[in-house]
Amino acid sequence: MLTLAVAIGSFVGFLVAYHTYGRWLARKVFALDPDAIVPAHELRDDVDFVPTQRQVIFGHHFTSIAGTGPIVGPAIAVFWGWLPALLWVVFGSIFIGAVHDLGALVVSLRNRGQTVGEIAGRMISPRAKLLFLLILFFALTVVLAVFGLVVASIFKMYPQAVLAAWISLPLAVAIGWWCYQREGHLLWPSLGALAIVYGAVIVGCDYLPFDMQAFLDSQPAVAGHPLWGNATVMWTAVLFVYCFIASVIPVWVLLQPRDYINSHQLVVALVLLVAGMAAAGLNGQANLSDTAPAVAQETPAGAPPIWPFLFITIACGAVSGFHCLVSSGTTSKQINEETDAQYVAYGSMLLEGALAVLVILACCAGVGMGNLERQADGSYAIAADAAGTPILGHSAWQTRYHAEGGWGAFGLPQMVGAFVDGGANFLGAIGIAPRYAIAVIAVMVACFAATTLDTATRLQRYVIQELAGDLRIKPLTNKYLATALAVGLALSLAVMRGPDVGGQPRPHGTGGLYLWPLFGATNQLLAGMAFLVTMFYLWRRNKPVWFIVLPMLVMVVMPAWGLAWQLFNSQTGWWPTRQYLLAGIGTGVMLLQAWMIVEALLAWPRARGVLEETLPPLTHARASK
């Protein structure tokens, strides 16, 4: 019953927060105005600036900020115990993450859809803009390289999910054409497309699983080649070709309808997960109290300390700096009216928190129902010990989270696999066969990760164009060249060999893992910087800022503390262990952040009640650009 009680209590808390704290922020603090002119109308070009119904933009925003973030983070953090992860997700979402996302969206809406990096130049100082953009460029390069690896790895691990994940793309294009060229309604075509996607799940499981590695091994020209014969590399290359195309075409062609379909897919998956969790909780199959510790007394060998790393490990699901890029990079250009901001930004963050709660329960109570192993015939069965007895409860959780090899052995397959296994067990409690249950969860994860991947590519294009404009590198202000640079850098990094593990070299296609240890702290520091921009916006207008001060301090202090630990820890720190690439970039990021905070402190005393410099008037050419 504890499993079900935790879920219900969390969901009720999110609903109450939306209608109380979220409403206060929207009406009293930001004073959202339904009659205000928004960038989607003021700068409409039907490519990036497109007025969009709030249900559709909600789908885009949610699937873009979610990705695998609220899955991977909680799936790791529960090794400290489920209670710290749960508390951080619930209270972080309500008082930090949702405030961060709403603030970034509103500030961008009132600055012609500019990104927070651009806005920092006028709110704080011109140098702050350049510093922010450089941090964004680095963070997005890592996001692209790693999320390319994530999606490619999912396709490699779960070939039965490939058909359903890719079939959604032509369906989305057809729906986009129907809705925006023929002015058709979006809901029913989207639900029809979702039915086709789930039909493809069955076909992918039973008839057309696409195993890229098996296909490459059957081709004499590339079989055994460390690069071209590597399924992860090939999937990554295919994904980045897709990202280039998806990031330069109008948002209504693919991005909006695809994300709308994915939002419905999430609703279906959440309903199934909640139903399965309720059934498993009521019949005693899923027992949170007997499976995983509320607060762990021991952790895997080599694992980092809970303080401050809990606040870095769980980003999406509680608060993530990447969200400010989505809010100000793509969503603000599609909001139809200001009052939609609470629904889209605050509401999406709370829904992401709800997803993170389900992930925590799946990775604890769900995993306790047994770790699923694929059999030779393609079916799945619960792992058993040498005597053939199924491994259940705390033993199953220990097997997953305290495996031989310690912390270093807990990689991407284990992170994603913990949620997929646990979620599939929940679905099994309502009668869904394991092979279909695993495919449903894997397709959801793959589609969410791909959404974040192509959105991040579009955001990186904006950042490169902004940097190119400031640094007077005219060729890179072209969207095609800027996108090519974004994709090229990420692909080059992604297909490299990753860092050695235990003296053994990783294969090609794991290069993104070189810089992955930097991403957590950098991403969360970015949230602190976004809070700083929002606080200056309110401070200059004599609006209350007390509710932002503590969240901003948390998102500056905790990530900086974590990054300092990674840099200087005597046993594993990057400087003591001579990992000079990580150490150099990490030190550079800390210095950039410190410099930006100094800029803010210098500007703060003069900013109270003093409006920033206004944007130049729009010319016809600029408005239609």
Average pLDDT of span 84-105: 98
Quick one: pLDDT at residue 405? 65
| 380: pLDDT strictly greater than 70 | yes
- pLDDT 10s digits, 591-617: 988 988 999 999 999 999 999 988 888
Residue with more model confidence, 500 or 325: 325
Residue 34 makes CB contacts below 8 A (sequence gap 6+) with 337, 338, 339
Output 534-538 pairs: Cβ under 8 A, ≥24 positions apart. 534/100, 534/103, 534/104, 534/106, 534/107, 536/123, 536/124, 536/600, 536/603, 536/604, 536/607, 536/612, 537/103, 537/107, 537/110, 537/119, 537/123, 538/29
Residue with more model confidence, 496 or 14: 14
Listed residue (91, 490, 427) closest to 285, CA to CA: 427
Categorize the per-residue pLDDT at 352 as very low, low, confident or very high, splitting at 50, 70 and 90: very high
- pLDDT 10s digits, 553-602: 999 999 999 999 999 999 889 999 998 888 998 998 889 889 889 999 99
Categorize the per-residue pLDDT at 183 as very low, low, confident or very high, splitting at 50, 70 and 90: low
- pLDDT 10s digits, 154-165: 899 889 999 999
Average pLDDT of span 238-253: 92
| 425: pLDDT strictly greater than 70 | yes
DSSP helix/strand/coil, 227: coil
Give start and end residues of each alpha helix (H) in 340-433: 340-341, 347-361, 393-401, 412-428
Listed residue (78, 83, 437, 415) closest to 279, CA to CA: 437
Listed residue (277, 359, 287, 261) closest to 318, CA to CA: 359
Categorize the per-residue pLDDT at 197 as very low, low, confident or very high, splitting at 50, 70 and 90: very high
Average pLDDT of span 212-218: 94
Quick one: pLDDT at residue 184? 65
Quick one: pLDDT at residue 36? 96
Cβ atoms 437, 158 nearer than 8 A: no
Q: How far apart are CA 313 and CA 75, in angstroms?
A: 10
Q: How far apart are CA 406 and CA 304, in angstroms?
A: 11
Whole-model pTM? 0.92
Cβ atoms 440, 201 nearer than 8 A: yes
- Tell me which amino acid residue 220 is: P
Mean pLDDT computed over every residue of the chain:
90
Quick one: pLDDT at residue 624? 34
Cα pseudo-dihedral 28, 33, 36, 38, rounded to 10: 80
Residue with more model confidence, 400 or 8: 8
Q: How far apart are CA 61 and CA 344, in angstroms?
A: 7
Quote the tokens at residue 184. 């058709």
Q: Give one DSSP letter per residue of 387-409, joined into a string.
A: TS-B--HHHHHHHHHS-TTGGGG
Average pLDDT of span 463-467: 91
| 323: pLDDT strictly greater than 90 | yes
Quote the tokens at residue 194. 């979702």
Q: How far apart are CA 293 and CA 302, in angstroms?
A: 19
| 622: pLDDT strictly greater than 50 | no
Domains and CATH numbers, the chain: 2-623 (1.20.1730)
| 230: pLDDT strictly greater than 60 | yes
Residue with more model confidence, 344 or 449: 344
